[in-house]
Structure formats: C-alpha cells, structure tokens
A and B are shown apart, each in its own frame.
Chain A
Amino acid sequence: MYTGLLERHRRGSKLIEITENLCKGCEICIEFCPLKVFEKSDKLNRKGYYLPIVTDEDLCVGCRLCELLCPEFAIVITNE
C-alpha cells in the first residue's frame, strides 16, 4: 500500500480534496488527523467558515479517519 502512495506522489496526483462549500469549519479534521496533515487557513468559503488546508500531502498515509469523522462529507481521499 505504501509503495502505491509513493508512486502516486511521484505522479503528482491529488490525494486529499476538500469540497469547500460543504465545509462548516468545525476543525475536527485539523485536530484528529494522526499525522497533522491539515491546518486552519485564512480562506473563507461562501458561508463564511475558515477552511482547512492540506499542509503536506506526502505525510498522509490514507487512513481515512478524517473522511469518516467529517460530519459534512467534505473530505475526499482518493486511495486508488
């Protein structure tokens, strides 16, 4: 699985995506990511919530905890 991840990084394909207009800025993903991949940004979405941003995608191992904990279906992890 890990080699697959490295391969993807080499290809430069996107791993973590955030649907901006679904996010309600609860910060659960920022707090509970085991590898602290997310960070709070200054960027506001349409509803006025501060969005999380991905600091270092290479840190992500694709455990999908953020995807499952996100109450808004806003985080999409592509694991292919």
Chain B
Amino acid sequence: MSEPRHRLMGYVREEIMPHRFCSGCGCGTVLNAFTNAVEGIDLDPGRMVCVSGIGCSSWIPSPYFKSDTLHTTHGRPIAFATGVKMMRPDLTVVVIAGDGDVAGIGGNHLIHAARRNIDLSVFMVNNMIYGMTGGQVAPTTPAGVKTTTTPHRNVEPPFRVADLVVAAGAGYVARWTTYHAFPLMESMQNAMTRKGFSFIEIISQCPENYGRRIGLRRAIDFLKMFKEKAIRIEKTRDMSEEELKDRIIIGRLCDRDRPEFADEMHKLTAEQVAGLKASKEAAG
C-alpha cells in the first residue's frame, strides 16, 4: 500500500520531511496553518519572500516552506524584509520568526517597522523561551518560571509584544495560540492580503525546553492550558487588569488604515524626479 500524501505537500519541501521539530512542537502547527492560509487565498509561493532569523521557529519558512526564503542573522529578519519590500513592492513579504528574534534582539526593528507601517506580515511564534539553545530566559518568559539562566525564578515580567505593536502604530495586530488554529489561519490570510504592517503573535508550545520546567511535559497539556487561559478580546472590555493577569487575550487587537511606507517613499521619489525634470526644462 502506498503512503497517503497530504494535499499541502506541494507547498513544503517534501524531500526533507519529516521536519526536525520536536514531537508536539507548535512550530509544526504554525507551518500547517501557514500553508493552509497560503493555499486558501491562492497565493503563489513564487511571488512570496519569506524572511526568518535564528531559532526553532525560523525554521518554519526556511527550509520547510517552498518559496524564496532569506534566513538572516539573529534579530534582523524585519530589517532584511524592509529592504526586500522597498526594492520589490510587488512581492508578498512574510516574516516568520520567534520571540527572541522579533521581540528580544530585534525589538527596535519591530517597533520602527510598525511605526512606518511598511507592508510586511510578521508572524511571531512566541514559545516564551529560548528553546533552541537549551531553555534560557527570554523577554517573553512569564515571571516566576525557572529556566537555565534563572535557576531560582524569573523576576522580570513578560513583554506584551502585540500590545506594544498596537501602540507603535501597526495596521493590523492579532494574537492567537496554536490551539486556535482555524482563526489563526484566517488571521494569517487577512494579514497577507491587506496593505500595511500586519503582526500576529502566536502563542506556541515548547514541551521540550519550556514545558518540562513548568510541569507541562506533553504538548496536549500545553494546548489544554491555552484553551483554558485564552479569552476573546471582546469579552475583556469590562474586566480589570487583575482578572486578566494570567489570561491570554486572543483575537484581533486592531485593524486600521494608515499610509504605507513603501508607497509614500515611492510617491516622494516620483515627485522629486518630476520636480527636477521641470526645473531642467525651465533652465532650458
């Protein structure tokens, strides 16, 4: 009997499957949701550039997703993606990277890309730890967790990255978990089709390097925790900060239209060229 073939195998590099993610890793679900999203809106992977950095989740587009990919230095995927978008505004540029890349080392690139509202889709896979290097504390690690570098406990509060990006001025911001795979997929489709900076924070599980430190050794325990703690943003309007302390707020945090950076820049260039031409003609 021949092995069944998944209908989305054409979108991934089949020759290197199964992928190298640990058993139950959320990165696999994100890859699955991402390929479903790309297939759902009939996006041609040949017209896409996926940019990633360093870490487990940066392996989602490179090498597994079959499009042009840029696997860049740690923390810089948004900087590289800005360059790609400025030179080739016709391409769909997607950044898939981890919390270490986007919120930790590359935090400044993130807030300034959001401020400029450049037409990128940034999918940040937040597993709340530096998983690939062995479980060091990340800016997104919740307070009180014991990690390799905080052996007693972490005393820092975690970064609320999606809220930061809303404040920085992004066009579209959402937060989902790997348990909410269908809305995540739809949200990815929204992010990739709309103009402007789109940011999705995907709360993901790392059973191997984070889960075993907080007593959630199995991926299913993690997903159950997401299911319990997640709360839709529509329901949080009348809730106090104290009530929302341990909850994961999911849903669309903002959706607004602002001038897009690459457009504005190219408009300015055209204006300047026209002005130069006119002054040359006037000079005779």
Contacts and interface: CB of A to CB of B under 8 A. Distances in A.
Interface of A: 17-22, 24-28, 30-32, 49, 65, 67-76
Interface stretch (B12-20, B149-157, B193-201, B230-238): B12-20
Contact of A68 (B4, B9, B181): B181
Contact of A26 (B4, B7, B24, B224): B24
Interface of B: 3-9, 12, 17-19, 21-29, 31-33, 36, 178-179, 181-182, 185, 218-220, 223-224
A14 B8 CA distance: 19
A76 B7 CA distance: 7
A68 B6 CA distance: 11
A19 B4 contact: yes
Contacts of A22: 17-18
Contacts, number: 81
A70 B32 contact: yes
A26 B220 contact: yes
A5 B179 CA distance: 26
A24 B218 CA distance: 12
A71 B182 contact: no
Contacts of A24: 18, 22-24
Contacts of B23: 24-26, 49
B32 A71 contact: yes
A62 to B, nearest CB: 13
- Most chain-A Cβ atoms within 10 A of its Cβ — which of B23, B29, B33, B185? B23
A68 B32 contact: yes
A65 B12 CA distance: 20
A38 B107 CA distance: 42
4 smallest CB-CB distances across A and B, nearest first, come from A71-B28, A26-B24, A17-B4, A24-B23
A38 B18 CA distance: 21
Contacts of B178: 69
Contacts of A70: 28-29, 32
B33 A68 contact: yes
Contact of B219 (A18, A19, A26, A49): A26
Contacts of A32: 179, 220, 223
Contacts of B25: 71
Contacts of A74: 6
B16 to A, nearest CB: 12
Given A19-B3, A19-B4, A69 B220 contact: no
Contacts of B9: 73
Contacts of A25: 23
Nearest to A68: B181
8 contacts: A17-B4, A18-B4, A19-B3, A19-B4, A24-B24, A25-B23, A65-B182, A71-B219
Contacts of B182: 65, 68
